[in-house]
Amino acid sequence: MEAGFSVLIGVFFSVAIYLMLSRQIVRMLLGIAILGNAVNLLIFTAGRLTREVPPVIPPEVYTPVEATANPLPQALVLTAIVISFSFFAYLLVLAFRAYQELGTDNIDEMRVAEPEDEQAPSQGY
């Protein structure tokens, strides 16, 4: 089961990187959203996928009697979902405002600081 998730995580990362290298802002935003989901799956898979009982320990026992689920990856993923959603919402509003101001979502055409009548800066180091 974990091998299948590992392959799925690799596919998510490769699709996210491919989309983030695009020249359209909408594709870049989709790549960022998929990257967030890939990281969440990675954290969840790294915490071992088990079907165990919830980590509730009775008050009279100091250690769990039976095997319990690890709550730490679940808490980390839940926090990461909230953070990635707010980050995505911020980037979406930023991209929408850039589209409203410039009339395009192509990053090559968004040259407000570099007017078209001037020579483009060098792309190398």
Mean pLDDT over 15-41 rounds to 95
Q: What angle do CA 105, 106, 112 make, to 5 degrees?
A: 90
What is the arithmetic mean of pLDDT over 30-36?
Answer: 95
pTM of the model: 0.76
For residue 122, what are its two tokens?
């060098």
Once rounded to an integer, what is the mean pLDDT over residues 67-83?
Answer: 87
Confidence of residue 113 (pLDDT cuts 50, 70, 90): low
Please state, in angstroms and rounded to a whole number, the distance separating the CA atoms of residues 22 and 27: 6
Query: Could you tell me which residues come within 8 angstroms of residue 1 by beta carbon, excluding any fewer than 6 positions away?
Result: 49
How far apart CA 21 and CA 25 sit, in angstroms, is 10
The domains located in the chain, with CATH, are 2-51+69-102 (1.10.287)
